[in-house]
Amino acid sequence: MTRLVLASGSRWRRQLLDRLEIPYAWQSPDIDETPHPDETPTALVHRLALTKAQTLAEAWPDHLIIGSDQVALFEGEILGKPADEAAARRQLARFSGHRVRFLTGLALVDTRRGQHRVTHERYDVVFRDLDEGEIARYVEREKPLECAGSFRMEGLGIALFEKLEGDDPNTLIGLPLIRLCALLREAGLDPLKA
């Protein structure tokens, strides 16, 4: 029986979760992701990850539901997904030669027990000095419009970086698997025994 549900329509998150080899269902939650006034980035990713999972709770009783959300932070500003290729090029030009922090919120809702856990992981990316041509070619080839920060680390985006810093590189893709495995074990679903 499938006990696990991923509250996401992201194919990247599904590809990551596939690595755990646990049967799961997935459903894309429909939530408003607009930050609240004066909401900190940490509070935002916690709220959105939990809201995504809780939105599906009624439809999935007796399940563990995973919610995740990510924001990029640069110079104190929360950055979302670029609206178009021009916005992606502008974002990457701003990042050239700088550090960008990513916060990924992770929630696990246990609908059988009426419990939940929420946490987050941080991951930093240091961009190389990039010229306009590199940025334009990258955006044209990868079209990273559904990605906070305008890049895909799991693709050609790796060529944009000088250095990556954090505990779990999966965090940057949008689903911190090391922390998720710990939460699943706490909830009684050990990936190595499933």
Distance CA 63, CA 112 (A): 6
CA atoms within 13 A on the CB side of 86: 0
List C-alpha distances in Å: 21 to 14, 43, 118, 153, 176.
11, 31, 23, 22, 16
Name the amino acid, one letter, at 55. Answer: T
Asked if residue 166 lies in contact with residue 121, where contact means CB atoms within 8 angstroms, the answer is yes
Which residues does the annotation mark as catalytic?
A: 69
